[in-house]
Structure 1
Amino acid sequence: MPHRRKLRSGFTTGTAAAVSAKAAMMLLVEGKAPDSVRLTLPRGDTLKVPINGSRFVGGKAECTVIKDAGDDPDVTHRAVIGARVWMVDNVQGSNEVFMMAGEGVGIVTKPGLEVGVGKPAINPVPREMIRAAVREVLGSSPGRQSKDLFVEIFVPEGVEIAKKTMNARLGIVGGISILGTTGIVRPLSHEAYRATIRSALSVARATGLRNIVLTTGRRSERFAQALFNENPEEAFVQIGDYFGFSVEASIKQGLEDIVLAVFFGKAIKIAQGFHYTHAAKAQMSMERLAGWTLEATGESGLARQIRDANTARQALGLVRNDYPAVVSVVGKMMLHSARNLAGTHSSVGGVIFDYDGQVLFESVKT
């Protein structure tokens, strides 16, 4: 058996911003930027990160870092993330740190996120990391306790990178978000995806919605938006393979009218009771589908063909025209699984699409 290489962890945009800010503060205070910075992460461990560039611009110190996501397929991997810092006299003797969004860092425009409307899209943990980093450099040096610190985070390619994220849907405009709770990016992070789902559901609820349409990706979402075209953009949330998590999270947010809009293959997996539908964890059982086919049609020959099918697409081709009852059984079983998760105080409906967007099954009422 070939040896599998261990996947490499990286660091978050929040870590990159905090390292840049710390290096820029060192440049401002000491007149020289370091080659690398050691940063204390939220859980107490430390990380050494190289500095990409440094300079003074109009009395402001500026440093940048190349963001390293490790082996995680992160759209911000290799992005330049930087910080500009400067100090302003404060006659009251306070020592505040003010955070600002530079180019490529988004501004929050919708309620429901961890950051308030009108503020830079720098989440609370990265915000504290940045504050702690610059204050560590400032220390208790005489004469500096009566100055306010300004930290401007920037991402030169942030506007373009943001187009590959959910930021526009979440109401974050002008660039990316500065994120992270631990400071470290774990490869193929499930938590990162779940956090995105939670944010989208939170925005939907904060805009006053009670209903939500859960889709598995961009194609199914596009078909669902055409079908439910009276719903606002915030009502549609892409959940990937996180069916169970997303239904439960929707209920916690008070989104009590849920519609699942999925393709036939995902519907089969949900109908079988899988809460997480990725192929590596949820092997589709054609045996189960064959059993449902026999129950719905009485056709043992068809059931054998279904059992021997290689894919959901192939199975669908065997039943869609002449045996719609099979698709109906899958739809009803899918709803049964979802309603078991959602409980009795919610309405759960479902739509199953074929692979061209035609509706095969629709039940949007309990």
Structure 2
Amino acid sequence: MEAAKETDNKNLRRGWTTGTCAAAASKAACLALVSGGFPDMVEVTLPGGQRPSFALAMEEAGDGFARAGIVKDAGDDPDVTHGALIMSTVRRGAAGSGITFRAGKGVGTVTRPGLPLPPGEPSINPVPRKMIAEAIAEVAGGESDFEVEISVADGEKIAERTLNGRLGILGGISILGTTGIVIPFSCAAWIHSIWRGIDVARAAGLAHVAGSTGNTSEKAAQAHHGLPEIALIDMGDFVGGMLKYLRGHPVQKVTIAGGVAKMTKLAQGMLDVHSKRGLADLEALAKVAAEAGADAGLVERIAGANTVSHAFALADGNGLALGDRIAALAWKAAARALHHPGVALEILVYDREGRLVGQAPFTPSDHSESLPA
């Protein structure tokens, strides 16, 4: 819906955050409220100074209110909110109230501490709030009093595909964005959700969190320790991103859980275990197997295996505890990133069926020069 399309150096089209769309819709609604007419296009200022323009997808005015909507365009990013209708309803506020925010249908409400907003507040993050206030000030001046209600069509359903429920944001999606721009495949949103998950767990007083690379390992790790959902961090491939944040925002115990392929990559020193960063080195895995006691024939078969899972199956069939050795090496790589004397680190390695095939027990993470027992 933007007037000018932006592209990055890979020719992937950039998009706009929900915060940008909410600011544009709020400015259009406020303009209609104070002037009696909606604009054909509405322009807003992003935190970096850019001024994109948007066409309105819907407009409505009634007794004491005006409402405008913008369809979010996330560009070429696989964003779950792409195509969502972001609406703002603006009303006059009480004298001296300034800009107040309400969560309309499809926008969540914060219910747990640890997030940038306190419990009870609509989940409209600080930067979008600032953008909305500045957009309204362009229309009505900086000292105006308005109530701004942000809503999202089908927001409750969209939120089911996000981590909002786990973070204690109930009733819909969050209005997000720090730059106003969605950069395709930047993974910034995922990294921020990891950080917010840690913040919420710490605010709840939890001493143990578990970061997992996928759904199977997450469920298995939760059952292994009997953890509440709030302790579970959807780390995905970003092992380093989680551990580095925990270094500055520690808890007493951290579990890293993942499948054999991703934990093998971690054991080989990769803190981003996405496949695009490269595959696990099967020859290096074969060397680990040799160090764990594999005979020459098994070492050769592991080096020539089709996949890491195949290599583990070969080891298991020959009674070789390859998983424990990989867990120990993964522990060392993770501990070097975490390196905090007050945080004990554990590694759990699972196969595709969720069976535990390797474990490095909790050990203070500043002991990274020695393997866990």
With the shorter chain as reference, the TM-score category is over 0.9
**Corresponding residue to 2:169 among 153, 168, 172:** 172
Partner Cα distance (1:271, 1:207) in 2: 32
Q: Is the 8 A contact 1:297 1:325 kept in 2?
A: no
Shift of 1:248: 1.7
Gaps of 5+ in 2: 1-8, 364-373
Shift of 1:6: 1.3
Partner Cα distance (1:285, 1:302) in 2: 16
State the partner residue of 1:104: 106
Partner Cα distance (1:213, 1:89) in 2: 46
Q: Is the 8 A contact 1:70 1:185 kept in 2?
A: yes
274-283 or 102-111, which moves further after superposition?
Answer: 274-283
State the partner residue of 2:126: 124
Shift of 1:135: 1.4
Gaps of 5+ in 1: none
Change over 3 Å in CA distance of 1:89–1:316 after alignment to 2: closer
1:134 equivalent to 2:136? Answer yes
Residue type of the partner of 1:42?
A: P
Q: Look up the SS of the partner of 2:261 in the other structure.
A: helix
Partner Cα distance (2:29, 2:246) in 1: 42
State the partner residue of 2:149: 152
Residue type of the partner of 2:99?
A: V
1:163 equivalent to 2:160? Answer yes
1:79 equivalent to 2:81? Answer no
Q: Deviations over 1:202-258 (max 9, x none)?
A: 0010000121111012222112122222x2211110111111121121232121311
Q: Give % identity.
A: 38
Residue type of the partner of 1:297?
A: G
Q: Is the 8 A contact 1:276 1:282 kept in 2?
A: no
Q: Deviations over 1:5-57 (max 9, x none)?
A: 71110000000100000000111111111121111101111111111110113
Partner Cα distance (1:190, 1:5) in 2: 15
State the partner residue of 1:280: 276
Q: Look up the SS of the partner of 2:277 in the other structure.
A: coil
Q: Is the 8 A contact 1:297 1:326 kept in 2?
A: no
Partner Cα distance (1:276, 1:8) in 2: 24
Partner Cα distance (1:303, 1:296) in 2: 10
Partner Cα distance (1:246, 1:282) in 2: 20
RMSD across aligned C-alpha pairs, in angstroms?
A: 1.5
Q: Is the 8 A contact 1:8 1:187 kept in 2?
A: yes
Partner Cα distance (1:364, 1:17) in 2: 47
Partner Cα distance (1:158, 1:164) in 2: 10
Partner Cα distance (2:184, 2:67) in 1: 30
Shift of 1:148: 2.3
State the partner residue of 2:303: 307
Shift of 1:78: 0.2
Partner Cα distance (2:84, 2:129) in 1: 19
Partner Cα distance (2:32, 2:299) in 1: 72
Q: Within 5 A, what are the aligned runs for 1:287-366?
A: 287-345=283-341, 346-366=343-363
Shift of 1:191: 1.6
Q: Look up the SS of the partner of 1:119 in the other structure.
A: coil
Shift of 1:95: 6.0
Could you list the runs of 4 or more consecutive aligned residues of structure 1 that deviate by over 4 angstroms after TM superposition?
none
Partner Cα distance (1:245, 1:99) in 2: 32
State the partner residue of 1:15: 20
Q: Is the 8 A contact 1:259 1:364 kept in 2?
A: no
Q: Within 5 A, what are the aligned runs for 1:85-96?
A: 85-88=90-93, 90=95, 94=96, 96=98
Q: Is the 8 A contact 2:66 2:89 kept in 1?
A: yes
Partner Cα distance (2:234, 2:141) in 1: 45
Partner Cα distance (2:10, 2:321) in 1: 47
Partner Cα distance (2:350, 2:266) in 1: 14
Change over 3 Å in CA distance of 1:222–1:96 after alignment to 2: same
Q: Deviations over 1:296-338 (max 9, x none)?
A: 1241111111111121111111112323322221111111111
Partner Cα distance (1:47, 1:83) in 2: 18
State the partner residue of 2:51: 46
State the partner residue of 1:37: 42
Q: Look up the SS of the partner of 1:46 in the other structure.
A: coil
